[in-house]
Structure formats: C-alpha cells, structure tokens
Amino acid sequence: EARLDIECISCSSPLIVEMASKLGSQEAVQDTTAVANMIFKYLSNLLGGDFVQSGLDKLLNEAAMKCPHSPSYNQNFPGLKYDELILSEKSEDSYGFLIAIIAVIAVFVVVVAVIFAATRWASRRRHNRWVNTLNTRQKLELERMQTGENEREKDLDSRMSSLVRSKEVPLL
C-alpha cells in the first residue's frame, strides 16, 4: 500500500488542506499503490533482463585479470572484446511507460522549481518593501541584530559537530 500522507502543521492555504485530504482518501491510496506497483514491475523487468546480466558477466570475467592478488593478473590488460549484445524486442508499452514516467518526473521537477523561484521572488520583494519602510536607525539596529546572530552561529559551528561526524551518537 502506497500512502502519501501530508500533515499540515501551520497551513496558510486552504488548497494544502484540501490536497492533504484528497491524498489521504482510499481512492488516492489505490491509485498510488497501482502506480508504484507498475514502476516496481517495470524496474524489475529492466534489471532482470539480459542487458544488466550481460554487463555483470563481463565485469566478473575481467575481474581476475584486473586484480593484483589473482594469479591471472595482467597489469597491461586492455579488456576483453565482446560481440555486440542483441537485445530482445520489448513491447511498445514498456517504452511508452518509461517515457510517461520520465515526463511526469520532469513536469514535477519543473513545477517545484517554478514554485520555489516564485516563493523566493515574492519573499525577497516583500522583504525589500519592508526594509524600505525602515528609517536609518532601524536599519542600523537590524544590521546589528543580524551581525550578532551570525556571530552566534559561527560560535556554535566552531564548538559543535553534526550528528554524522560525532564520535558518539546518543540513543535517547
């Protein structure tokens, strides 16, 4: 079951709430499950085919000749020459499905990029308008506050390390 749960913590748009309820519906769960199963089936057919197996076979055949610990190691080994692989014909549906998946992903990426760019543009515009309403004293105070915040961040960064780089990861 492929479920796309969205939990809105602080929603400013009623469309987000509506989208969350629609994605949580039983019909949406069935649709996303069907799409996920189709993608997994397609990928398993692609990975289980002759093309991937042929590539793995070639790597394994040449491995001993490229490994310095093998008795058949050859430092100047140029690589084996293989005949061109003749792939079995796939149905047009599988190519259409691949193109559909790529198109959906591309459209999604473009939509997300446009939303991101529009949000940043609107935010900067709103910020610049707000800064223009400030007098000189307020601007200097804002600059002082930002400088202090940057210094605190630099101090914290110099004294602490991320969880990934830490020598000990707390369990609780």
Both tokens of residue 65?
């000749």
pLDDT at 118: 95
Side-chain half-sphere CA neighbours of 152 within 13 A = 6
The confidence score (pLDDT) of residue 129 equals 95
pLDDT at 86: 63
- 136: Cβ–Cβ under 8 A, 6 or more apart, which residues? none
Q: Full-prediction pTM beyond 0.75?
A: no
Return the pLDDT at 113. 95
Q: Is 31 exposed, middle or buried (0-12, 13-18, 19+ CB in 10 A)?
A: middle
pLDDT recorded at residue 53: 73
pLDDT of residue 48: 67
Q: CA 2, 8, 11, 17 torsion: positive or negative?
A: positive
* pLDDT of amino acid 34: 87
- Residue 79 has what pLDDT? 73
Structure tokens at 167: 């020598």
Residue 37's pLDDT is: 86
Q: List, as one string, the DSSP characters of 129-152.
A: HHHHHS-HHHHHHHHHHHHHHHHH
What's the confidence (pLDDT) of residue 141? 96
Closest by CA to 127, choosing from 142, 144, 141, is: 142
C-alpha span between 36 and 25 (Å, rounded): 17
Q: What residue type is 105 in one-letter code?
A: I
Residues in the chain, pLDDT under 50: none
